[in-house]
Structure 1
Amino acid sequence: MSLSQELLVRTVVIHRSLHRHTLVLGAERELVMSSALISFILVVVGKDLVSAGAALFFWITSVILLRMMAKEDPQMSQVWLRRNAYQTIYPAKSTPWRR
């Protein structure tokens, strides 16, 4: 083999369907379903046109905001939850058993 053949980099095609995020209506699935559930509960509990209008307004605005959030990062809620789990400061210790 010549040196030029050894330096060729093999490319592997990774199909988009193998690493696509689970999105519903362009936003995170869990958050869209949660906002739909809140809207549905508001309609059922209110039982009038005002609560139905408020629920529809809430659901449309929440889907719009969630889509904007998903355009920035499709997993932003998981990133935010993981970020909140971190401590504000980590003390400098070599081991957990150090005094």
Structure 2
Amino acid sequence: MALRSIPIHRVANRDSLFMGGDRELVMLSGLLAAALIFTAQDLRATVFGIVLWFGSLFAFRLMAKSDPKMRDVYWRHRQYEKYYPPRSTPFRSNSASQEKRYQAPSKGK
């Protein structure tokens, strides 16, 4: 009996991107830029808001091009940071028994 194959369509498997970047980050940066522009109502605030919008859009597009799920990876890293403190260092001095245990086996034996 042959196995039945079920096609997985790309449209149901795509990442949620908006304007080339992560949907939530792009919309949040647009909201912040618009709030800055409309609440300050100053030429400097308008210029800064537009620069903020296009700069963040550029950064989010690069981030999505590198990895569309980078935001999720970053937030998971922030959650795990308190549970996995860095303890490894290249300057650690191992005892003699530890050095024997972790040496690469010689090819002659």
TM-score bracket, shorter-length normalisation: 0.7 to 0.9
Say whether 1:74 aligns with 2:72.
no
Normalising by structure 1, we get a TM-score of 0.74
AA matched with 1:18: A
TM-score, structure 2 as length reference: 0.68
Deviations 1:20-68 (A, max 9, x none): 0111001001100110011011112211222111101110010000000
Partner of 1:36: 30
SS of the aligned residue for 1:14 comes to coil
Rg larger in 1 or in 2?
Answer: 2
2:41 corresponds in structure 1 to: 47
- Number of the residue aligned with 1:20: 14
Counterpart of 1:88, as a letter, is Y
Is 1:62 aligned to residue 64 of structure 2?
A: no
2: CA distance, partners of 1:15 / 1:73: 20
Query: 2:8 is paired with a residue of what secondary structure?
Result: coil
Unaligned runs of 5+ in 2: 86-109
- What is the number of residues matched between the two proteins? 83
Structure 1 spans left out of the alignment, 5+ residues: 90-99
Structure 1 vs Structure 2: percent identity of aligned residues?
36
- 1:61-97 per-residue CA deviation (whole Å, 9 max, x = no partner) reads 10000000001111111111112212115xxxxxxxx
Root-mean-square deviation (Å) = 1.8
Greater mean alpha carbon deviation, residues 44-53 or residues 65-74: 44-53
